[in-house]
Structure formats: structure tokens, C-alpha cells
Structure 1
Amino acid sequence: MQLRENTILAGRYRLLSRIGDGGMGTVWRALDERLGREVAIKTVHFPPGLTTAERQELHERMLREARSAARLSHPGIVTVHDAFEEAGRPCIVMEFLQARPLHDIIRTDGRMSPARAAEIGVTMLSALRVAHAAGILHRDVKPPNVLLSLTGSGGAATASRVVITDFGIAAIEGEQALTRTGMVLGSPPFIAPERVAGEWASPASDLWSLGATLYTAVEGRPPYPHGGVMETLQAVLDDEPEPPRHAGPLTPVLKGLLTKDVALRMSAEQAAEGLAQVLRQAAPPPSSPPATAVPGDLPEAAPETGRTPWTRRTWKTPALAVSTVLAVVWAGFVVLHPPGGKARVRAGAPSTVAAGPRPANGPGGTALAVPDGWRREAPTSVSVRWSEPDTGAYLQVSTAGWGVPDPVEHWRRFQRSASPAVRVLRWSRPFLARGWTTADIEFTSARGSHRRRHGHGRAFTASGHQYTILVVAPAARWSGRYITLLDRAFQTLQPARL
């Protein structure tokens, strides 16, 4: 069956335009006529000359991609909606993103600053850690498989959400490998040396590829810029990468991730701290000391409603831009209307999410990086909020106890107690981030005549305290820049000491 525009697959997906071709398949922009939404559909290429067994292997690998990605819930991972076969051809239906591959951005715009690469790395690392916690390895992390979604149009379009795509050769730990003996899957400049040597892939292998990807972002070329495939693989196996010249404060992270010895390679926790350090160094010093809370007078407030305490959660993903006109007061989980009760959004008004970051004091003796120019407020003794002046979007950190030990149960209780105006879109399974047990949530809200809001949150336990980080913004202004904001807040947060 030859695919072309207006072809209908599975009785519901109308192909609109071809997005691109890759080694594993073709990606189409399509319309799900049943739900009325745009989606992306990936179909497999079967190269000529394959045996029946080899064609079946590609078929199984494509289905494995669907199973792998469907198990994951993270804003930094492309969401899989459906999988089916059409005339013997595996097809995967994914969320549609207006995005550019990191590879194309580097090629056309040149190398990135260390701070920008660190921001991208924070989200990539968070997504990989969620996958690894679920027993899933990517095995082909590289710039072409990192998408930067776009907001706006034309010259006003800006990169926002960072997403890892193409789990086409992902391996679920415990399943039989679908590779022929001696066959190495991946891209030579980004394959970890232990895999070149024929050893099993591991989460550390994905971290090596992450390091190679970030190296490419700041240097404009991969760490092993050799010509042929065999020369590159041999260099990965035997040679040290060329020292980076433009990485600046990112250099220690790159060296740590590109360590050949798996036992000595930088861990995910160490990489997270290293990336956070790069972002802290990039933050300009505050022009005046931020308002600070006296460390001893905070965390104790229980909600005046008498309900079980609620905390604010941190969302470590790429999609948080929510202006808050949500009034949910739940045992420390406070989402208040912006000053004046209304948030006027001027068309084309620049967001200050990209500004900053600057160090700030949070509730209960915490510290973190927040966008420069955002207004600080303390609605309760256990909660501090920073509001974006132009949009009414805000970042809020809470130290109020949840009343339950599990962050997922915390979000479930939030859903049960929330008003009908609040609609929970999804929450994640528990995962480890920075060594802390964490869970995320995404929701929308509409209250009275106020515009709809979009929110992302993360709840986690660190140093014996329960924390919630929340980002809320007008739904019409939502973009990946707010997810980056939440990620940055989470990565830079310094917990209070016991």
C-alpha cells in the first residue's frame, strides 16, 4: 500500500503531510477524525533485500517502541496514543509537535551556550531517569532524536519544550534482545564504548550518549568527528574525546558523562547536580537581597479548612506555563488568583520565563533559582510564590505536609478534593529524581468567568521534608518554557536541613 496525502489509516487517521524520513521509517502529520486532533504517525521502512526473518525483526522492533513509550509518562518523552498495523506495516500514533530536531538547530544556528545546553540536558536527564526507573533504555540518544517544540509562528516562533523521541531500538530490561549477533544498534558518534565492545547496554550507556549529545550542542560537532563508521567506532573504543573548547562550566559534566569506564562514569544524580550548578553559575547576582523568611517560623501551618494537608509539587518536564486563577486551598497547597483577581495577557507580550535565573529564598529555609523580575509573595507561612508580571503565571513552592507518605496518593487526594472546575489530565508513577521519590501531575482549571489555566506540579520528599512545586499559567500561553522553569526550580532547590 502506497501512502500519500488524504490516505486514511485504521479507519480514522487521515494523512495530511509528510514530516520527515529516517532510517527506521516515515513520519506523517495526520488528523484523528474520530477525536478531531492532529497527531503524528510513524510507519516502518522495510529496506529491499531483507529476509522474512529480518522483516519480522523490524516489525517487532517497531511494536517494541510502542510498548516502551506507552509505559512512560513524562513531558520530556513523546506521548504514544495508539499502535496498529496497516497492510502488514506497523504504525505508531504519537502526539504531534511543531518541533525542530536539535541536530537541525545546531546545524543551522550554530553551537549553543553552556547554559542553554544545560537547560536541555536537565529535561533530557529527567526523561531518561523516568525511563530507566521503568526498566526501559533508549539506546539511541542523539541530537536527531531530541526535539525542541516551537511556540508562536514565523519569526516569532521560539523553542520551548524539550522532548526525546524515537524509542525505536529501546530495550525493555528482561526482554530478549532483537538484534543479530555482533550487530550494534545506534549512531556511531553517540554509542557508548561498552556497547561498541559488545557489552550489554545499561542506563550508564544512555548517560554516555547524553554527554555526547550535550557536547555536540556546545561544540557544534560530536566528540569523535571522524569520517568513516569503523574509524569512529574505533575512536570511541580507544581514544579520549577531543577536549571541548566552548563548554565552559559544562566541561566537568561532559567529561564525567564521557568517561569510558562505566564504573567511573558520572551517575545520573551527579549529572543532575552538575547541570544545576551550570544554571546557578549562569544566574546573575541579585541586585538586591530577596525577601527572606526566617528559617524557624515555617513549616507548620495546617489548612484552615481542616482537610488533610496538601503540598505543592514540582514538575520536572517540558510543558509548564500556567497563569493562576485557580483558588484551591488545601492544607498548604495554595493556588491563588493573581493580584487584582484578573490576569490580563497582552498579545505578543514577551514572557520573562527566559529571563534570569536568580537565586532566591523559598519557604522553610529552602533556596532555589527563580526567573529574574518575577514578584515574590508569601501567601502562607509554608508557601512562597513568584509571579510573572505580564501574564500572571506563577511558580510556587510549598513545604506543607501532605498527610500521606506517597506523592502519588497525594495527587490522588488532590483530585478527589478539587472543585469540579479542576480537571486532572494525568499524573506519573513514582520515580527517582535527584535521589528523591517524586511524582508529577498535570491539570487544567476554569473558575467563574476567568480564563482556563494550565498547571504542572511535582511532589517529592527530600531531606526528611515533603515539598510541592507548582507552575500555573494561562492555558493560551502554555509552552515548554514553563516546563523548563519547573525543571530548573526542582534541579536547583536546596532543601531545608533537618
Structure 2
Amino acid sequence: MAMGNAGAAADGLVAGRYRLQDVVHREVNCVCWYAEDIEYARPRLVTQTQLPADEGAESARRTVARILRVSDSVGLLRPAGVATVIDVVEEAGAVWTVVEWIDGMPLGELLNQQGAFHHVRAARIGLDILDVLEAAHGEGVVHGELSLGQVFVRDQGGVVLTGFGLAGTVPPVRLGAPLYAAPEQARGGPGGPAADLWALGALLYTMTEGRPPFRDRGRPEATFKAIERLPLRTPVKAGPLARTVQGLLRKSPGERITAPVVREALARVVSDDQEGVQHTVTTSRLSLGHLVGGDRGSRRAGRLALVGAAVVAVAVTVTALATAGDGAPEDSSAGRASASRTPADADGPSVPPIRSSEPAAPSPSGSPSASPSPSAPGGLPDGFRVYDAPEGFSVALPDGWEPVSTRREDRAYRVVFGTEDDPRSLAVTYSASAGADPVAVWRDDVEPGLQRRSGYDRLGGITATTYQGYEAADMEWLVDAQGTRVRTFGRGFLLGGGRSFSLRWTTPAEDWTGAGNQRVLRTVLDTFRPSSS
């Protein structure tokens, strides 16, 4: 279903009212114009979005109505961050969205003029974008079309987003800017909040690297296929933003880092300066008239200035959760803990304590999810007792279970529980040097070590979840241990302030689905508590 930019030209009239003047920014199927509202003699921004050639009149009307409705609702939530829509018109095979003039510059044009941004400046813009997206997502609204042309950077700081309401109005889930489509959109599926986070990651990548994460293949279909299938080009200029960008640009929506994790990482980059000083670099204020050229552009120099000063600061790297791969040497200086190599002794992502009694998200592969923990031992299933560990946590264990190995290192420890006559085990790992992304820990820090073990096979994906209010990630795998095929469920969660816990439950694979095994695992997840200290 081919689409292309309609043949609009300068001095043309849209809806008999908006006189097109100059192109402000151009993307695939989307052109943003400077225009004059001749009815009120005021400047406007008019975005021309080309519709598919076979789009019917009724569908076009629904598109117009959706843009008005969604833009109004999001604008009420973040009035300073969302462009005020004046009018939406369907004309000449395109939707024309008219918004109030924005004192600023499209992010794409800003990059064209100034080149790649310092990572601190990119993080500031990313936080501003995230503010708007989170407000929209909280009301069930997805942007779905986020790109360089939909983000305007204000002269005096902050951003304004345009383009709300376009996504999902016509059969192509994404109408414009295929370079910023998430893989699930590239496959033709709907774009949820995770797709907006992907687009945010792609924008951060472009701001710091000076190029998008994937190359434009000339045709949207070819570009979509590349996004869906090709690996990400590793960011080399993003500095401490690199891990955040990579976490946002994971192919699977379930594995992408969540908005709170992104916020924490970006805020660190903005606020942390090793010298304690915020450095600035003064830049000239170029008018948009210099971009579009001509006498008309020169007359508008005052109201179309670029963002002035670029903020440069030294930021703190987003660190990984302090864990290591199974059976691999561990660095105590990094706060990693390990125990003796039993079949259950594959240490995993750090896991944080339970903060509230809200249920956790479902676990993968049919494993039990954490439900509200009993408030007293009287609420425990028969055959369990609460073990209060001197290391700083408590958990309900089957009668007779005790610590079988304990290892302590600087700012970390690990305790393995079990009995001599039971092949199952529980490993609890604590670290005070955790990073901001539990999914990345399983994938980047733990799995490489597991892959060296005999018969390693991960079951499903690494799933981002919550564990009673905390950011968490789940992973399951099989390995061969002393002639037995064993299966492990791991959950890592973040307590905040660099602290984390991980829980690993390991049992012979043939016994995994047994009611007794699932009962113990569910009880462990329900009752684990870190100490208040």
C-alpha cells in the first residue's frame, strides 16, 4: 500500500485558510510546513500526512476525529508538552494537522544544524519526552508515530510533541517515519506503550550517534524488515546512555526496560557531574529562516530561533546488576556474590525486597507469580516455617531446610538452602551494587556464564515484570548437572539505592510441573522479605 508526499507547494492554500510558506521538516509521508492562518493573520505549523492511496472517505473522517480527540485529551494532561491542535483537515489525499506556532525547532532540523548531541543534552530532551509519554500512557493513550519531526525543542528549554492521534487510524499501523517504528509495528501489529519507548530509544540513539539505529532502505517495507530482523548497531558515542539505549531497543517488547527505569537512568546522567559543576557551551542562535531560505524566512528570524545553549556534563554510567554467570569467577570489587557449585548454584540477577502487598506480574513458562505474602506464620501452608536469615531477609521454607552453603563478599552475599536428601534448592543473592535494569543483568551478566555449562538451554525470553511493586525480571533455563537435567527459575528485583536480591529455584526438570514443586516455589515467592534495614 504505497504512500508518498502529496504535491503541495509554497503559497498553496489548505482548506481555503492556511497558506503554506516554507517546509520546516520532511520525513517519509510527512511534511511539516510553516503557514499563515489568513483568517486570523497568525503563524501556524501545518503537518501534511499522506494517507494510503486506497483510503476511503469514511476512514479519513475517522482519522480526523481521532486526531482531534486524542490531541485534546493528552493536551489537558501535559498542556506545555503537547502542541495545541487548531484544526484537522482531510484534503488532496492527506491529513493536514494545524497546530499553534511553537517557538522552537524540530529535533531533526536541530541535529542537521548542530550535529550529534552530548549525552547530557540528549538525556535532558529524553526526560522531557518521557514526561509527556508517561502522562499519555497513564490515560491509555499511545503516540505511535514518535520521530524526529514530531519533537519540537523549545528555544527556552523543554519539548513539545506533535502527532498524537495518527497511529492506528488506517491499516498501516504507522503512517510516517519508518526508521522509528518498533519491531512489533514493523510486523504490522499495534504499537503499545512499549513501542513509544522503542521510539524514545531510537531518538536517544540518533541524538548521540548522529544517525538512526537502522539505515533507511529506501522503501518503508525494506526498512521495516531491517528493523525486525537485523541486530542493532552498537552505540559508540552515547557514553553512559549506551546501556539505556540498548535496553530500550530490544526486539521483544517484554524485554525492554520500563519507563521508571529509563527515568532513573536519564536523571542520573543529567544530575551527576564528577566535578560538581554544570558546564555549558554557548552556541549561536540560528533562525529557521536560515534553514528554509528566501526573504520570507529572513523576516521570521526572530520567532523561529534555534535552541541556544547546549548543556555539557559528565554523567555516571548506568551500571549492570551485580551478578555473575554460573560457575564463572566473580569480582568481589563489583559486589558480586557466589556460592559452591551445586546444581542450583547459578547466580542470577539481583532481586529487590518486597515493598508492598500488591501482586506481581505473571511469570514466564507457567511458573507461579508472586501473590500477597501472609502477614504471619499462621498463614503459611502446612509443612513450612519462616527462616529469619541473619544476613538480612526472611523466607518460608519446607520443614527441615537449612542453609547448605553461604558466601560473603564486600557488599554482597549468597545463601543456598536445601537438605541432603532433597535434589531441589533455593539460592538467595544480595548485592549493594545493583544497576537499573534487571533484564540486562540476566542477558549480559548471567547468561554468558550459563552458556558455558553443559546442556544450557534458556526457556523462552527474559521477561521484565514487577515483584510486589519493584522492577524485576524473570528467566528460566535448563542445564545438565551431575548426570541430571535440572531446571531453574530466577527472579531478580531492585530495591533501590543500588540494592538488589535474586531468587533462584532449581529442581530436576522431570519434577518441575509436579504439584509439590510448584507449591514450594509459590510459597517462596509469596513469603520472601528483605529486612527493613
TM-score (normalised: structure 2) = 0.45
Q: Which has the larger radius of gyration?
A: 2
